[in-house]
Amino acid sequence: MLKATQYGDVTEIKMGRSIDGVTALYWVAAYLIDGILIDTGCDYSKKELADFLEDKQVSVIINTHHHEDHVGGNALLAKRFGLRAFAHPETIPLMSRKYDLYPFEVEIWGYPDPSTAAPIGTAVKEGGATLRIIETPGHCRGHISLFEEERRILFSGDIWVGERPKTARVEEDVHQLISDLRKFEELRPKIMFASLGKAVAEPQQVIKRTRVYLEETRNEIRRLHSEGKSSEQILDELFGRESVLAPVTQYQLSTKIFIESFLREPRVIQRFVAES
C-alpha cells in the first residue's frame, strides 16, 4: 500500500503492508526532494514504489539506515531504473547481505533483497538541493539524518518517533539519542519529516520537549537504580506496566529494554571521514 502527499518541494511516500487493502500494518515513509529519494520502504511495497516513481525524476537514493523498512525497494529500483544508493559506511555491509529477522518483522516488513550502496560523504548535492549528512547513530549503528540548509528541512529518519517514547530496541542507545536530538535543535529546522510518516512544522519545541523528557527519564531511572531497584521495579514505578508492543514484537521492542538502555554506558561511536 502506498500513499503520496506533497509538502512544498517534498513528496512524502507512505508505504506499508496491507492485509485488508484499507490500511497498512505499520506505515513507513520515503521522501523525494529534488530527485533525491530518501529510503525505499519495505519489501511488501517495493513494486508499488517502483511503479509510483516511473514518471518521477529520481537521480539517487540515500538510505538513512539498514533496517528492513528503509531499504526494501533498493534492489528493485537499482534493477529497473539503474538508481545508485548512498549510505553510511557502517550501513553498507548490513544491507548487502540477508540477515535474520524476528517473526514480527517478517510479518510487517518482510526480508529486503540484499542491495549495494556507495559510502556517503558529508553532503549530497542534486538538482538544486544540498543535503547535509548528520550522523545520528542513536537508533542504530550507521543511522544518518539529512538536512537541507537553504529551506531548513530536516529528514530525521527513525530518530524521532514521538514526543514521549517509552520503548526501545536493544540496538538503540538512548544516550546517543539525546545527543542526536540536541543536534536537531541546533539545526533550527522549519519542518521535520520523520520516517514513520509524520511532518512536523516548526519542530523546535517538540524536539526540545522530547530531549528534556529523555534526560529527565534518565535521571529518574538512575536515581531508582542507585537505590538498588531492578529494571522490573523501575518499570512498575515509572511506567506502571510493560508496553503492549512488547508481546507482539517478541519482546524486541519494550519498556524494559528502554529502561536498561539508560543504565548502559553510552556506546562508542565510530566516526566516518569520507568527503563527498
Binding site for Zn ion (CB under 5 A): 67, 158
Q: Min. distance of Cβ 238 from Zn ion in angstroms? A: 25
Closest C-alpha to 200, from 237, 257, 155: 155
Cβ proximity to Zn ion: between 14 and 67 the closer is 67
Measured from the CB of residue 275, what is the shortest distance to Zn ion in angstroms? 27
Smaller CB separation from Zn ion, 101 or 238: 101
For 116, the grid coordinates are 549495494
Sheet bearing 10-15, strands edge to edge: 2-7, 10-15, 28-33, 36-38, 60-62, 84-87, 118-119
Which residue, judged by CB position, is nearest to Zn ion in the bound state?
Answer: 67
Which residue number, 195 or 255, has a Cβ lying nearer to Zn ion? Answer: 195
Task: Report the residue number, 90 or 158, with the smaller CB distance to Zn ion.
Answer: 158
Enter the C-alpha cell of residue 61: 537514493
Least distance to Zn ion from the beta carbon of 70, Å? Answer: 6
Helices (H), the chain: 46-53, 74-81, 92-95, 103-108, 174-187, 204-226, 231-239, 245-248, 255-263
Q: How far is the CB of 49 from Zn ion (least distance, A)?
A: 17
Report CA 228 to chain centroid distance, whole Å. Answer: 34
The minimum distance between CB 24 and Zn ion, in angstroms, equals 16
Q: What phi and psi values does residue 122 have, to the nearest 5 degrees?
A: -85, -15
